[in-house]
Amino acid sequence: MEQLTLLNGKEIPVLGYGTWQNVDPSECVDGVVNALKAGYRHIDTAQMYGNETLVGEGIRKSGVPREEIFLTTKIDNVNHAYEDTLKSVDESLRALGTDYLDLMLIHWPVVSGHEEDWRESNIQTWRALEDAHEAGKIRSIGLSNFKVEHLENLLPHCRVKPVINQLRLHPGVLQAETVALSREAGMAIQAWSPLSPISQMKEDAQVLKMTEKYNKSIAQLLLRYGIEKNYIPLTKSVHADRITENAQIFDFSLEAEDLAYLDTWHWDGDIFL
């Protein structure tokens, strides 16, 4: 798996296996096992997903050494406060069965109970992540779903710079201004829900021509699109064959005209940001 070097010198695999909504015990554990078997070395979970224990079990069951895996989790919305964040870091470590995290993110910038004081709430939550990082519990820290106003509030207060901003990104949802500011601050960009357009694209004649042209599925085209936009796409499936198929995106490149078409493609779906 190809690697990308983060701002702090750590390396992260350029394709990740996501576990959102994977709460069925056997499906979640087997999904992680199958992903690692297929060559993924980047596993993404979150406190909010309620499956950290299952993800940790899958990692152990896989037999892949912990040090070969880049493991990410995220602070739940209910843990936005200095002491609550610190406590939740330890809880995540216990649930995942590891003594360190490769990456921990603030999951959302504005959460219930902090609608009015989100600016200070994010600063205090970040301070806790910085302290956990400096204590050796987390090797890299970052953000998720932080838009321009959230970044402009937090970045001046960071003594440890965020290395990632994880955003919803795919054709039709480009968030160009947020991506640009994040990159200007040195952050790599992760893309969640990169396969959202599949159902709509099944009706798109030009996209269907691309599948024939490259002999690739729509999912593979979308993941490759993310790679070529220099995102780190996070793909999710509980089916072993799809998990394997989604990793087979490093043997082709999109031609300029196809990349341009996807850049201007119109998304008709809801945007949950």
* Size of the chain, expressed as the number of residues it contains: 273
Question: Do the strands 42-44 and 164-168 form a parallel or antiparallel pair, or are they unpaired?
Answer: unpaired
Lookup result for tokens 């979150």:
46
Which amino acid is residue 156, in one-letter code? Answer: P
Which of 40, 49, 225, 231 is catalytic? The answer is: 49
- 22-58 burial by CB neighbour count: b if 16+ within 10 A, else e? beeeebbbbbbbbbbebebbbbbbbbbbebbbbbbbb
Catalytic residue status for 49: yes
- Contact in structure between 30 and 58 (CB atoms under 8 Å): yes
Beta bridge partners of 141: 104
Catalytic residues: 49
